[in-house]
Structures are given as structure tokens and as C-alpha cells.
Amino acid sequence: MNRPQNNRAWLGVLPVLLIVAFSAVIPLMTVVNYSVQDIFDVNTRLFVGFDWYRETLRDPRFLDALLRQLGFSALVLAIELPLGILVARAIPREGRWVGLILVLLAIPLLIPWNVVGTIWQLFARPDIGLFGQLVNGLGIEFNYTAEPLHAWVTLIMMDVWHWTSLVALLAFSGLTAIPAACYQAAVMDGAGSWQVFRHVELPRLTAVLVIAVLLRLMDSFMIYTEPFVLTGGGPGNSTTFLSQYLTSMAVGQFDLGPAAAFSVLYFLAVLLLCWLFYTSVIASDGERG
Amino acid sequence: MRGASSKMAIWVLGLYGLYLAAPVYWLLRLALQSNQAILSGERDFTLANFAEIFSNPVWYQGFANSLTYVAINTVISVSVALPAAYAFSRYRFLGDRHLFFWLLSNRMAPPAVFLLPFFQLYSAVGLFDTPLAVALAHCLFTVPLSVWILEGFMSAVPRSLDEMARIDGHSLPYFFFRIFLPTIRGGIGVTVFFCFMFSWVELLLARTLTGSEAKPIVVVMTRTVSASGIDWGVLAAAGVLTILPGLAVVWFVRRHLVKGFALGRVS
């Protein structure tokens, strides 16, 4: 579709730019500014160049948190993506149940993130939680506040509970856009359910799945509230992810310079991951023709 | 493909539904029990936890504060995103592609990154501890998202509608408000849904930008530890109440939900 050239359209974009300047550009510039200075108080500052960056990249706690973060994001994506597609394929395309199923699916997405943490805390605690009691009843001593492995299992289950719906709803909206004729042709060729999925549905879902992976990738990489409520980053540091470490640095210790350098590296890491994923998808699309 | 696999589909939906429902069922059950009963494993039934929330100003003020900043945020986001989305969907202009992607890249910024500067910026302009501060801070992710969603819905409206209005002699503002906006009201509903979704659920920025005056419900909830330990019953009851606004919003836009999740790009 050809859109006419009209530079007055900038006027329409102006309010958005003002808001974003206030809520993103100025704060981001402040962070970059802090990251190259050693700040003692408002009037005593020292330019230190990239010292804070070097220090952050050598900080073993930063590197550990980064590794945990990568592992967490990879795990939740590996579970949520196939599970979401499976659920989306199971939803009937029409009928009176569709609306109800979609509304029920969307509920976890609308619960405040700290409440998600609280819900799973209440559900998984070995003393008062249904899940904790059940697992203990099976003879496994389950305690997510003491065992790192149990904490991870609980966190992953919580994230899957919280976010698989997003993947499912995205995939479902993609599925409903596939014309019935494509299915009829496949059925006439005698294709089974897997083949229908592989050759009819998956190629047409690429666009929505790219959105799903991007959203889950960046959001899981920023996760803070749910682990903060559920495990507080523990036991030990075993569930301390990047946002939590950064928050403890910035608010807890008020180390402006190092926290700012950390922030810049963190933002760049998210951008880099999304860019890598996006370009690799576009590249493989190009090869297929 | 329906017949053979429909049995399996019911199993998948049933099991997944159980997985979704079990923690919520447990929350509801604990909310209706006294704290002593929860800790001792007995069963009782009481509405005292809800009564506590509705009679304690710290709790109901928290709810009011949260709803206030979510509402302000939604109004700001939608009203600035509408003209921008229209510009992106209808015109080419200098740097439009770059601008669009740069806007979206703000969605990738971790909120934790903005803790320090937000605190100082909003203190400097005297907005600290007001609902407006949280509303503006949440614009960081709701505005780019709103532009993106609305642009998708607007681009699905054929341009001939614009031209017909011009031939009929309607001015741009008249066309925009009286013809165009009613056409994409589904998209506006979905945008409201997403703004609500990301502003209502957020804790980190809301906690950093508020003190005692504008303290949101999510922050009140993380500080329910009293001298006698955590009151699990009241915590669960507050959790139940925070789910209700979300339910209301999702029910309101349920017909547009599918299209909305494809961000308007699937017809």
C-alpha cells in the first residue's frame, strides 16, 4: 500500500516523542552519564571512563546472575512455546465455548506480578500450600526455601503458569487466520495431525510466533517481581537474576556508578538478544525462499 | 483432522485448565479461612479477611491509588498514541521507519535500569509520591505498545474511507473523531486492555516512585508482615481482590481478544 509523503505527519508523532523523552530518553542519558563517573555527592564527581564497565564485567556475582538469567530464559521459552502451541491447537475454532476459554486463559496475564508470586508462595509452601503438601505426601521432602533445585522447579512452574497463556493466545489468533481451504487440501492428501501442523500451520504461524518469542525473551530477561516475592533470590543466591541484583545494588547500596554501568550493559544485552533472534529468523526465512 | 484428535484436545485443555485453576482455587480457599485455621490445618469459613481489607484505610487506599494511576496511564497512553499511530499508518515522513523501531526498542528496557534516574527525575519535578509519577513512568512501556497495536488496527482500515470523507467535504478532525475512531473502537478497547495489563501488574517502578501517600496495593501487599508474622488469610484475600479488575477488563474486550493478540495484524 502506498502512503503519501507528508512531513507534517511529524506533528502527530510529537506528543509521543515528548512523553518518551521524559520517561525514557532523559533517564537513559542520566544512567549513561552516571556510568562514567565516580559520584561522592552532588558536587564531587570524578570522570572515570570505562572503569565501572570493566569492574562489572569482572564481577563474579554479575556473571553468575547473567548465566542464571540465560538459563532461566532458555528453560521457560523451551517449555512455554511448545506448550502454548499445543494448547492453542486444542482450542476449538468456533462455538460457544471459545469466548469463555479465551477469557479463562487470559486471567493469569492480568494478575499483578507480585500476586502471582504470592499465589505460588501460598500454593507451594510445604506447611500451608496444596502443592507443597501433595509433594511431601508422595514422600519427597519438598522445600523451595531451602533447596535450590526445588526453588528453580517452583519458579519455572510459576512462570509457565503465568505466561504460557500469552503464547497460546498469540498462536490461537494466528491459527484462526488460516483459511479452511488449506486444511481441506491437506486432508485430501491424507496428511496426519503432525503433518498438518508441520506443513500447513507452522509456516503460517511464523509472524505471531516471532512476536511471542520476542515478548517472552525480553520479559523473562527482565523478571524481578515474581522471584522477589517467591524466593527473595534465595536460597543463597541461587535464584538471583539480573534485575534483582541490579535493584539491590542501586537501591540497597546506592552505588550509582557501578549500578549505572550494570544498567547500560543489561539494556544492551536485551537489545542484542532480541536483535540476534530477529535477524536469525529473517535470515532463515530468506533461505527458505 | 477434528474427529480423531478432538478427544486429545479435550485432554490437553482439561489438564492445562486444572494447572491454571489449582493455585487460584487454593488462593480462594485460604482467603476464606482465618489465619489460625490456615496454620493449624483446620478448616473453617470466614469473611473476616475481606472485612479487614474493606475496613482498613491502608488497604482500600492502596486499591484506590493503583486504580488512579492505571486510569491516568491508560488515558495518556491512548490519547498520545492515537495521532502517532495514525501518522505511521497513513503517511510516509522523514525517518518514520527508524522512529517506529526506536519507539519499540523502549519496550526492551528493563524497568530496573530506570530505578535511579526515575527516582531523581520525579523528585526534582515534585511528582514523587503521586499517582501521576507512576502513570508517567509506566508510559515507558505502554506508549510504544499502544502505538504498535493501534497502528496495526488502523492499517487494516482501507484508505478509501479517508478519501471518501475528504470527497464528502469533512475536515480531518471531524473525520478522525466522528468516523475513524468509531471504526477502530475494537482496537482502542484492545489497547486499553494492554495498557491496563502492563500498568496494573507492575511492582518495581510503582514501589520506587511512591512513599506513604500514593502507595499502591501491590506494595501494601508486600509489606503485610506484622509482629505476629504474615497474615496469610488477609494476603490471600487481597490477592483475590486484585484479580477482579483484570477479569472485568478482559470480559469487556473478549470479542476483540483474538484479533488484539495478533496486534491487529491478523484479519
pLDDT tens digits, B99-119: 888 888 888 888 888 888 888
Cα–Cα distance measured from residue B67 to residue B256, given in angstroms and rounded to the nearest whole number: 23
Domains, chain A, in order of start with CATH, read: 58-288 (1.10.3720.10)
pLDDT of residue B2: 47
Instruction: Catalogue all structural domains in chain B, each as residue range(s) with its CATH number.
Output: 56-261 (1.10.3720.10)
Total residues belonging to chain B:
267
Give the best residue of A110, A165, A196, A244 to mutate against chain B (max B CB count within 10 A).
Answer: A110
Contacts of B144 in chain A (CB under 8 A): 20
DSSP state of A174: H
Residue A164 has pLDDT above 90, yes or no: yes
Is A112's CB within 8 Å of B201's CB?
yes
pLDDT at position B225 is 58
**Could you tell me the pLDDT band of residue B229, with boundaries at 50, 70 and 90?**
low
pLDDT at A95: 77
- The mean pLDDT of B54-66, rounded to a whole number, is 88
Q: ipTM of the assembly? A: 0.85
**B198 CB within 8 Å of a chain A CB:** no
Contact A39, B126 (CB under 8 A): no
B66, closest residue in chain A (CA to CA): A112
Set of chain A residues whose Cβ sits within 8 Å of the Cβ of B204: 224-225, 243, 247
- B265, pLDDT greater than 60: no
The DSSP 8-state label assigned to residue B231 in this structure reads: -
Q: Do the beta carbons of residue A108 and residue A159 sit within 8 Å?
A: no
Q: What is the mean pLDDT of chain B?
A: 85
For A20-33, the pLDDT digits (tens) are 888 888 888 888 88
- Residues in A closer than 8 angstroms to B30, CB to CB, are 122, 128
- CB environment B148-167: b (16+ within 10 A), e (fewer): bbbbbbbbbbeeeebeebee
